[in-house]
Amino acid sequence: MAEPEEETAQTVVKMSLATPLIYVFVMLTAFATFLILYRRHRLKKLVSVEPIFGRNYLLELYEILREKYLDKLLPKDQRPPEKVVKAALLRRAVETIRRTLKLKENEPVFNKLYQEGLIGDDVYKQFELQNKVQQLELKEIVEEAQLFHKEWPPLFFPVVQEICYNEALRRRLHVMDERSELLCELWNYYVEKSEPRSKDASPAPEKKKKKKAQA
């Protein structure tokens, strides 16, 4: 009789130890899910305000690909590969960091204009909300990267920053090429314009020589 009682006591002890752990795990999972949903709700609420930047097509593209990627009801050949979804997240992060850097670059200008009364409260509030949108966007990108792999964000963002700097350098070089083409066109225009004048001015000495010869 003692042996069954000992076995039941051991099972009760095991269940009593496992129950709090399961409860803590469920609570942490629910809390993490709540945070993600809350941040997304805040992001959508802030996005409802008229943004400074244009429409973020890269964000929309990533959301479409991610939705299809996570849809288990779709056939495998209709779901995008994981590499494609990661590449879309990478492009989304590049655009987000580009916009964040642009806001930081123009922040002193907005502050000075607001202090001097050259812009109204609505414009300055729009600028502040855009900053909050970009911060929430960065946090959501970190969470999305962690869904693929927990150790991916430390490797993810250096690659994103490098892409941003390379694209910025490429844009500057492109602008320089356009300016050089414009300068070449102006140079050719003034050269062609000055050539007829030189041709018209050259026959004058010949006429003088002919007049002297006739005299």
DSSP per-residue string spanning 161-175 = HHHHHHHHHHHHHHH
Within a domain: 84: yes
Within a domain: 20: no
- Domain that residue 112 falls in: 31-196
Within a domain: 123: yes
Within a domain: 35: yes
Q: How confident is the model at residue 2 (pLDDT cuts 50, 70, 90)?
A: very low
Within a domain: 68: yes
Within a domain: 210: no
Query: What is the tally of structural domains in the chain?
Result: 1
Task: Tell me the per-residue pLDDT of 115-168, one tens digit each, with 9 for 90 and over.
Answer: 988 888 888 888 998 998 899 999 999 999 998 888 888 889 899 989 988 888
Task: Tell me the per-residue pLDDT of 76-128, one tens digit each, with 9 for 90 and over.
Answer: 888 999 999 999 999 999 999 999 999 999 999 999 999 988 888 888 888 99
Within a domain: 24: no
pLDDT of residue 16: 61
Residues 6+ apart with CB under 8 A from 95: 56, 58, 59
Most confidently predicted of 59-73, 166-180, 198-212:
59-73
- What number of CA atoms fall less than 13 Å from residue 202's CA on the CB side? 6
